[in-house]
Amino acid sequence: MHFDGKKWRSFPTPEFHRPEPDPEDDASLYDVVTVSRDDVWAFGAHRYWTGEEEHEPTVALHWDGKRWRKAPKALDTELRKNHGLDTSGTRDSAGGFVLNGGLHRTADGALHMVKVSKPVAGRSGKITKADRRRRFDVSDLDLVPGTHEL
């Protein structure tokens, strides 16, 4: 679907399926990140089974102002190998986006994970084992109103 400011129009989207399609396979889109009118990303999952094992890799589509296409190979590969990534995110105000889970795609298409910060001392004032076990999760990002900051 695409809204041109006046009405909604249906546009075909690429299909996601295994080489041997199964009627149980499905793909759903869960979030849209709009960088500009001709740079829109949609994220979701392709769910399928091999035997009793369920697979649900993250998938991405890109709107270039004219049509939806599958994500570029580098992004698709990163999404499929990095299962900690969520299917939602936000634009970064510099022509790219950040997915919940920490994958940042810059305006020029470069991909990198947001670096995990070093442990911070807790109440004791010293860095303990518990402090070292804490994880840094990037989630629920949004632009700070009136700024270019996440």
Per-residue pLDDT tens over the stretch 22-62 = 777 888 888 888 888 899 999 988 888 887 888 888 889 99
Report the mean per-residue pLDDT for the chain: 82
User: Alpha-carbon distance 97 to 40, whole Å?
Assistant: 10
The answer to whether the CB of 93 falls within 8 A of the CB of 148 is yes
Residue whose C-alpha is closest to residue 104's, from 134, 74, 135: 74
pLDDT score of 87: 74
Higher pLDDT, 29 or 18: 29
Rounded CA-CA distance 109/74 in Å is 9
Question: 79 and 59 in contact (C-beta within 8 Å)?
Answer: yes
pLDDT at 17: 74
What mean pLDDT comes out for the span 102-113? 89
Residue-wise pLDDT for 122-147, tens only, equals 778 888 888 777 766 666 677 777 77
> Is residue 9's pLDDT more than 80?
yes
**Residue 64 confidence (pLDDT):** 93
